[in-house]
Structure 1
């Protein structure tokens, strides 16, 4: 059982202090890391540095032979499914492959330190934090984007810089046993109402980078949709002193005593665990829908929620500049751009960055049209998200009750 905010505030404050210390440590690492550019202070320069390398002379047979000579490859990812991908790659090519589950913050710090020490052990990463990828790792040349020519035309221009290998989703869920008539809310602004005070649960945004990024992307890309939803819900135009409708929504949600957790497992349990009777709404990764069969959870997507039922968050592929196994890293990256390679990460849903790979057959019921139902992060705004992350974190922290 997840306790309400009032009983968890002290641990949350300790987490916030630790997170703040982690941010300072990361900034300190970034300051001494090798770099030929500023830390994302000029969007034009950062975009030029991050320009992807399209290998026009690509030869799969030659790359495979060179990769086998290197003998091994290590890849870091934020999901344990990377171990399944590693096993599939090793089986196919006979190259010893190590897949490591690692939080994006830990991966960022380790790759930065390894680049500084010129002792690289992580050959490539499948990385979910786009802002720090374009704001730190790419401009500092800790990693680079490589695209083989034989699959380049299968990847949309908007997904090349940086290279998106997979899109997953976070969605709002409800318990159909508690609400048999369907999702009890039909507008995102409902979650800020007194009726839902203390009944909305999600991961603590201060410990989940893609939630903070979602807040920022709402303001930069979906402001009009959010204002339209407000008027549809209240009959009035939104009046706010905040710089965007998103910042107003974030403020109101933070003040509405949301139940914060450290993991999606806790969110899904609070909403959908067997015998759960409390009326709650939760925000979780679609990966948690595996618990419907595995644990007997009762959960459904709030598929009528406006202006969207959740958001897509991308996973990018990047190769370490100082990799000791660069050919194996390239071969692995190409592998995850194929159905054979990315399917192990799509067991609980998702959409590949390659148009040649069909969407997962395991996307949860009710999530049928990602382009219409989900907010999509705009890669051209990632640098702005990097700059604005701390401001949005502070905005949440100051308003959270």
Structure 2
């Protein structure tokens, strides 16, 4: 009888858990707050160090709820979350992450991450930014140059210039086999093969000769690596190499447009190469998700709601770390940053995560063969 009672209770719990989650999904911020206070804390894995500022802002807004933020790269997060899920562990409550092509396939589809769209902001988001996972903003990996050394504008008018002798050993980026967003950038060159072929003809005045390359995008990747592309460990390494003040012939590099926010504090002169053809780089979504089996489900939802910004035109303290040139809110009512190139004027390709996911392994395999 005891075993039967236990089994019945377990079945009932299984039936009620989805309903409980659904109830939390429809609760107002005030309703979530009461439950979050009882939980007392929330753990966030974040791919950006700006989580430290969010932690302070969240705890100031909601005293008594301890936000524990961990700065972990997207690649490391994916590996950790998969391992924790396999072990039946949920150490994080909220995941703030880029590398959407891998996230969708390896975290969302298997149910490791669950979607939560705060009711307060749902009507101010496009359907694409609400499903299958919530997108908080879009970020970039674009070509940047040193505007102190190039006061008249970018020295790169066409991406194919990066493959000629003048720029040999003067292009910097993070190793795309170590960081997913840079592999997504390389993959986009392949997916945009037609545009890369047209850009080649514009630069050199003749049709591209592919040789053994599959297409113009992959040929560009091969030629870029052959021109002594410099691979570094971190985006900050790119920024320092490209942006450092006082250089006569600085390199250019692929990095985050939003890192221009640090120019004054770090002595950089970074600027986006927005007139470069056929594009300066890529625009991609940054997403927020709930970890399945989160220990603090109400506080997790409250944190996601907070990260989406308040009712002000700039998103208030919850969005302040991202209200900088080069980050673009997905909420339609948050006004663009006045010092940024408008998103519709930014010469960067919008990635299609599904298409990127299909192609990136092949591109990664190509890069493995390059010297």
Task: Calculate the TM-score normalised by the size of structure 2.
Answer: 0.84
> Using the alignment, how far apart are the partners of 2:170 and 2:66 within structure 1?
47
Question: 1:182-226 deviations in whole A, cap 9, x for unaligned?
Answer: 322201111112221111111111112111112223433x33332
- Match among 166, 182, 187 for residue 195 of structure 1: 166
Q: Secondary structure, in 3 states, of the residue corresponding to 2:69?
A: strand
State whether residues 166 and 353 of structure 1, in contact with CA within 8 Å, keep that contact through their aligned partners in structure 2: yes
> 2: distance between equivalents of 1:330 and 1:282?
37
Structure 1 CA distance for aligned equivalents of residues 343 and 273 of structure 2: 14
The answer for the alignment partner of 2:58 in structure 1 is 89
- Matching of residue 342 in structure 1 with residue 319 in structure 2: yes
**Cα distance in structure 1, aligned partners of 2:180 and 2:208:** 27
Shift of 1:54: 11
- Tell me the distance in 2 between the aligned counterparts of 1:290 and 1:56: 35
CA shift digits 1:217-263 (9 cap, x unpaired): 3433x333323322222223334254443212111111111111111
Q: Does 1:390 align with 2:361?
A: yes
**What is the CA–CA distance in structure 2 between the aligned matches of 1:398 and 1:286, rounded to whole Å?**
29
* Whole-angstrom distance in 2 between the partners of 1:291 and 1:119: 37
Per the alignment, do residues 313 and 147 of structure 1 end up closer, same or farther by CA in structure 2, a change over 3 Å counting? same
Moved more, 320-329 or 159-168: 159-168
1:176 to 1:90, Cα distance in 2 relative to 1, 3 A: closer
- CA pair 118-358 structure 1, distance change in 2 beyond 3 A: same
Map of 1:370 onto structure 2: 343
Q: Distance in 1 between matches of 2:323 and 2:305?
A: 16
Q: CA deviation at 1:362?
A: 5.4
Partner of 1:181: 152
The alpha carbon displacement at 1:138 in A equals 1.1
Q: Which has the larger radius of gyration?
A: 2
Secondary structure in 2 matching 1:153: helix
Q: Could you tell me which residue of structure 1 aligns to residue 243 of structure 2?
A: 272
* Kept after mapping to 2: 8 A contact 1:82/1:345: no
Are the counterparts in 2 of residues 77 and 102 from structure 1 also a CA contact under 8 Å? yes
Q: Deviations over 1:296-349 (max 9, x none)?
A: 323332232112223223211110011011111111112112213122233464
Question: Structure 2: which 5+ runs fail to align?
Answer: 1-21, 310-314
What's 2:85 paired with? Answer: 115
**Residue of structure 1 in register with 2:337 after alignment:** 360
> Does residue 143 in structure 1 map to residue 113 in structure 2?
yes
C-alpha distance in 1, partners of 2:152/2:321?
35
- CA distance 1:201–1:304, shift in 2 (3 Å): same
Gap runs ≥5 in structure 1? 1-52
Paired residue for 1:245?
216
CA distance in 2, matches of 1:225, 1:181: 26
Alignment of 1:2-401 (within 5 A): 57-94=26-63, 95-160=65-130, 161-220=132-191, 222-240=192-210, 242-338=213-309, 339-340=315-316, 341-347=318-324, 349-361=326-338, 363=340, 368-378=341-351, 381-400=352-371
User: Does structure 1 retain, via aligned residues, the 8 Å contact 2:175–2:231?
Assistant: yes
Map Cα deviations across residues 78-119 of structure 1 (whole Å, 9 max, x no partner).
111111112212221222111111111221222222222223
- d(CA) in 2 for partners of 1:269 and 1:64? 42
Following the alignment from structure 1 to structure 2, what is the Cα–Cα distance between the partners of residues 216 and 117? 32
The answer to whether the Cα contact below 8 Å between 1:271 and 1:278 also exists between their aligned partners in 2 is: no
Which residue pairs with 1:18 in the alignment? Answer: none
CA RMSD of aligned residues (A): 2.3
* CA spacing shift, 1:300–1:348, aligned 2, 3 Å: closer
User: How far apart in 2 are the matches of 1:189 and 1:373?
Assistant: 19
- The corresponding residue for 1:43 is none
The structure-2 alpha-carbon separation of the partners of 1:58 and 1:239, relative to structure 1 and needing over 3 Å to count, comes to farther
SS state at 1:147 partner = coil
